Structure 1
Amino acid sequence: MLETLRLVAAIALATMFVVMGILHFVPTVARGMAAIVPPAIRKRVSGKLIVRFTGVCEIAGGIGLLVPGVRTLAAVALIVFLIAVFPANAYAAQHPERFGRAAIPFWPRLAAQLGLIALLVFVAL
């Protein structure tokens, strides 16, 4: 029963990460994502490059969740990914007037990220 739940969670997470990753390559969505990269980071690396890179990371991680031999590694990589992208989400939350719907308030965003991390830990076990 527990293994079935892990598989269902892995499939759901994989679907979410792959779809979100693909959205990084849709021009209108990608522009919005590039805009929420904090300015201090954009000074060093192009926001467009970061969005493409993170899209590839999400797609690769999502696919990895579906491969039993690399599922744990993929889950750990996606946990690191979620932590790494959180500053962009926090930046957007601080500027709702600029980012509109992308500016999910900080605490709900943090709760969602922690929930995703918990699910990834569950899948990785």
Structure 2
Amino acid sequence: MDAFEVVQWVLRIVLAVVFVAMGALHFVPKVARGMGAMIPPGIKGTGIRSARSLVIISGIAEILGGIGLLAPWMPVRFAAGIGLIALLIAVFPANAYAARHPDRFGPMAVPLVPRAIGQVVLAALVLVAAI
């Protein structure tokens, strides 16, 4: 195993832990309510688009994506990585909404520019881990 492969393996483990832990938080009632409140009103709806459903679906996706990064088969890892990147894009409107309402969301309201930069860096790390 060369140095890049070691870095990739460590990165996969770290990202898997982060995504699985964040996904699990979607099922902690108080945290899930906060996440649901971050979903912009124009996105919320009823049924599958209800805030609660979206929080549950994104939590499951984070957990499965995190686990997928640990798969020994490259196609599975790559699919998990692409799914996680798509998820990062999908949840960005909620993060942007929270950033515009820091009085309501407190520490979850990371300012928009640092949040956007962080999401891009995280997506790049996911891609490196997944290949």
TM-score relative to the length of structure 1: 0.97
Q: Does 1:92 align with 2:94?
A: no
CA–CA separation in structure 2 for the residues paired with 1:124 and 1:65:
6
2:38 counterpart residue number: 36
CA–CA separation in structure 2 for the residues paired with 1:61 and 1:36:
22
Question: Tell me, what secondary structure is at the counterpart of 1:40?
Answer: coil
CA–CA separation in structure 1 for the residues paired with 2:124 and 2:71:
19
2:82 counterpart residue number: 76
Tell me, which stretches of 5 or more residues in structure 2 are unaligned? none
Tell me, which stretches of 5 or more residues in structure 1 are unaligned? none
**1:97 Cα deviation (Å)?**
1.0
**1:123 Cα deviation (Å)?**
1.2
- Report % sequence identity: 53
2:60 counterpart residue number: 56
1:102 counterpart residue number: 108
Runs of 4+ in 1 over 6 A off after TM superposition: none
CA–CA separation in structure 2 for the residues paired with 1:16 and 1:120:
11
**1:111 Cα deviation (Å)?**
1.1
Q: Does 1:112 align with 2:114?
A: no
CA–CA separation in structure 2 for the residues paired with 1:58 and 1:68:
18
- AA aligned to 2:58 is T
CA–CA separation in structure 1 for the residues paired with 2:126 and 2:63:
15
Matched length: 125
CA–CA separation in structure 1 for the residues paired with 2:125 and 2:108:
23
**1:57 Cα deviation (Å)?**
0.2
CA–CA separation in structure 1 for the residues paired with 2:83 and 2:50:
22
Superposition RMSD in Å:
0.8
Q: Does 1:47 align with 2:51?
A: yes
**1:68 Cα deviation (Å)?**
2.0
CA–CA separation in structure 1 for the residues paired with 2:12 and 2:121:
14
- AA aligned to 1:62 is G
